[in-house]
């Protein structure tokens, strides 16, 4: 009766599929018909909810499960497996982390704590009744995928750019996740509603640092990724050493102070003429010819900036004659 109804509905709704099935060998047609109830037989069944779980590394996973069996049967053995054979409670890799929360009636829920990337498997519940050969493995089982977190970020950005960092996982986490961001190990308070994306718009030179992410309530933190913000020279100035009165014959060093990323190239200018390069410009045995205004020029691929000029006044040394 059931088969005849099946054929009638199929021929009305999908004549093309009906023609294809009729051309198949009878055993294969039978397999197609029973595929939808492959997890149930003779009153034995297992149901999982959900059947796919994406969990964060080092978190705890609950695999919800129920099972049924015919009236008059008694449950002798229950266990979870990832090979369809072995009992995970006897496996050293699982025995301390696996806790059966179910019973020998209809609840087969299990908890697996401190999950690792190696725990990514299909998991099945198996039970055996007191009736000979009445054993059942719930197939297909629970597909557990364990993921870590990685920060995706551009390696180099320029000050003023719009930058987005993304906290990525290899699968969509089953539990609703609230993300936390860190810069240089300090928590960042943002207005992004704790999203897996951190927006820096515009990015500032002060935003350079090592960024990592985590999920609130979990111990796992992603490896840190360095965000390198490039910017032109700023705060360019000149210092004189030694300070104070400069007497003819002294040795004097001018130092150019500049903040930039990448480091800037430095040149020294006196009265419109380039007289040296490098952060330090030294004059040994200074003379009156070295008097004048000096300034340094700081330049990288993002821009350039000049310091304010400084003036060297050289004093002549007076000889006392008796």
In this predicted structure, what is the pLDDT of residue 1? 36
Segment 95-111, tens digit of pLDDT: 999 999 999 889 999 99
Residue 7 in any domain: the answer is: yes
Q: Do both 142 and 43 map to the same domain?
A: yes
In this predicted structure, what is the pLDDT of residue 72? 84
| Counted domains in the chain | 4
Q: Which residues pair with 145 in a beta bridge?
A: 54
Q: What angle do helix axes 2-13 and 15-22 make, rounded to 10 degrees? A: 130
Q: Where does residue 160 fall: left (phi above 0), alpha (psi -120 to 50 degrees), or beta otherwise?
A: left
Residue 297 in any domain: the answer is: yes
Q: What is the CATH number of the domain that holds 172?
A: 2.60.40.10
Residue 57 in any domain: the answer is: yes
Segment 28-66, tens digit of pLDDT: 333 233 232 335 556 789 999 999 999 999 999 999 999
Residue 321 in any domain: the answer is: no
Q: Where does residue 306 fall: left (phi above 0), alpha (psi -120 to 50 degrees), or beta otherwise?
A: beta
Q: Do both 122 and 179 map to the same domain?
A: no
In this predicted structure, what is the pLDDT of residue 192? 56
Segment 128-164, tens digit of pLDDT: 888 876 788 898 999 999 999 999 999 889 999 999 9
Residue 320 in any domain: the answer is: no
Task: Convert the chain into a string of H (helix), E (strand) and C (coil).
Answer: CHHHHHHHHHHHHCHHHHHHHHCCCHHHHHHHHHHHHCCEECCEEEEEECCEEEEECCCCEEEEEEEECCCCCCEEEEEEECCCCCCHHHCCCCCCCEEECCCCCCECCEEECCCCHHHCEEEEEEEEECCCCCEEECCCCEEEEEECCEEECCCEEECCCCEEEEEECCCCCCCCCCEEEEECCEEECCCCCCCCEEEECCCCHHHCEEEEEEECCCCCECCCEEEEEEEEEEEEEEEEECCCCEECCCCEEEEEEEEEECCCEEEEEECCEEEEECCEEEECCCCHHHCEEEEEEEEECCEEEECCCEEECEECCCCCCC
d(CA 56, CA 173): 7
Average pLDDT over residues 211-216: 94
Residue 98 in any domain: the answer is: yes
Domain final position from 163, 188, 223:
223
Q: Do both 159 and 106 map to the same domain?
A: no
In this predicted structure, what is the pLDDT of residue 176? 84
Segment 159-184, tens digit of pLDDT: 999 999 999 999 999 888 889 999 99
Percent of the chain's residues with pLDDT above 70? 84
In this predicted structure, what is the pLDDT of residue 11? 43
Residue 248 in any domain: the answer is: yes
Q: Is the pLDDT of residue 266 over 60?
A: yes
In this predicted structure, what is the pLDDT of residue 191? 55
Q: Do both 24 and 69 map to the same domain?
A: no
Q: Do both 114 and 189 map to the same domain?
A: no
In this predicted structure, what is the pLDDT of residue 269? 96
In this predicted structure, what is the pLDDT of residue 244? 79
Domain final position from 146, 175, 205:
146
Domain final position from 106, 129, 146:
146
Q: Do both 70 and 139 map to the same domain?
A: yes
Residue 322 in any domain: the answer is: no
Claim: this prediction has a pTM higher than 0.75? no
Q: Do both 240 and 260 map to the same domain?
A: yes
Q: Do both 49 and 28 map to the same domain?
A: no
d(CA 120, CA 82): 10
Q: Do both 142 and 157 map to the same domain?
A: no
100-109 long-range Cβ contacts below 8 angstroms, 24+ apart: 101/62, 102/65, 102/78, 104/75, 104/78, 105/75, 106/66, 106/67, 106/68, 107/65, 107/66, 108/46, 108/65, 108/66, 108/67, 108/78, 108/80, 108/138, 109/62, 109/63, 109/64, 109/65
Tokens of 173: 């986490």
Q: Where does residue 93 fall: left (phi above 0), alpha (psi -120 to 50 degrees), or beta otherwise?
A: alpha
Q: Do both 28 and 68 map to the same domain?
A: no
Which range marks the domain in which residue 82 is found? 39-146
């Amino acid at each position: 009766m059931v088969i005849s109804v099946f054929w009638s509905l199929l021929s009305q709704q999908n004549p093309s599929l009906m023609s294809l099935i009729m051309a198949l060998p009878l055993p294969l047609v039978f397999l197609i018909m029973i595929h939808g109830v492959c997890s149930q037989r003779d009153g034995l069944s297992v149901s999982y909810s959900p059947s796919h779980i994406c969990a964060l590394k080092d978190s705890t996973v609950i695999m919800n499960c129920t099972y049924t069996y015919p009236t008059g049967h008694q449950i002798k053995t229950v266990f979870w497996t990832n090979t369809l054979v072995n009992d995970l409670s006897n496996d050293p890799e699982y025995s301390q982390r696996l806790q059966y929360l179910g019973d020998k009636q209809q609840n087969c829920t299990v908890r697996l704590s401190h999950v690792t990337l190696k725990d990514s498997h299909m998991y099945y519940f198996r039970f055996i009744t007191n009736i000979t050969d009445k054993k059942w493995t719930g197939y297909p089982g629970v597909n557990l995928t364990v993921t870590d977190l990685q920060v995706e970020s551009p390696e180099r950005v320029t000050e003023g750019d719009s930058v987005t960092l993304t906290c990525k996982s290899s699968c969509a986490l089953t539990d609703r996740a609230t993300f936390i961001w860190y810069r240089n190990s300090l928590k960042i308070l943002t207005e992004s509603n704790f999203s897996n994306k951190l927006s820096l718009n515009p990015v500032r030179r002060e935003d350079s640092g090592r960024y990592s992410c985590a999920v609130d309530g979990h111990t796992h933190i992603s490896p840190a990724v360095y965000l390198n913000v490039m910017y032109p020279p700023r705060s360019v100035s000149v210092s004189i050493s030694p300070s104070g009165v400069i007497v003819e014959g002294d040795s004097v060093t001018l130092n150019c102070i500049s903040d930039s990323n990448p480091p800037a190239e430095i040149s020294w200018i006196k009265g419109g003429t380039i007289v040296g390069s490098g952060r330090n410009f030294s004059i040994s045995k200074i003379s009156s010819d070295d008097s004048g205004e000096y300034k340094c020029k700081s330049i990288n691929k993002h821009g350039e900036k000049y310091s304010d000029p400084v003036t060297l006044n050289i004093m002549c040394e007076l000889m006392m004659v008796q």
